[in-house]
Amino acid sequence: MPLKTFRLTGHLPGEIQELVSRRIKDLRYPTDSAYVNGLVLFDLFCKRDHRLTAPLMREPQRVRDKVIEQLVQDFDKPDIDLKRPGGWFEERIQELVEEEKRKGPPPEEKKRAATAAAAKKAAASKKASPPKNRKKASAPGVE
Residue 59 carries which DSSP code? S
How many domains is the chain partitioned into structurally? 2
DSSP result, 3-18: PP---------GGGHH
Regarding whether 104 and 68 lie in a shared domain, the answer is yes
Q: Write out the residue range of the structural domain in which residue 59 sits.
A: 49-113
Please check whether residue 95 lies inside any domain of the structure: yes
Residue 3 domain flag: no
Specify whether 28 is located in the same domain as 75.
Answer: no
Per-residue pLDDT of the chain (143 residues; tens, 9 = 90+): 899 999 999 999 999 999 999 999 999 999 999 999 999 999 999 899 998 899 999 999 999 999 899 889 988 887 765 565 556 667 777 777 788 788 877 777 777 777 877 878 777 777 666 556 555 555 555 54
> Is 140 domain-assigned?
no
| Exposed / middle / buried, residue 96 (Cβ in 10 Å: 0-12, 13-18, 19+) | buried
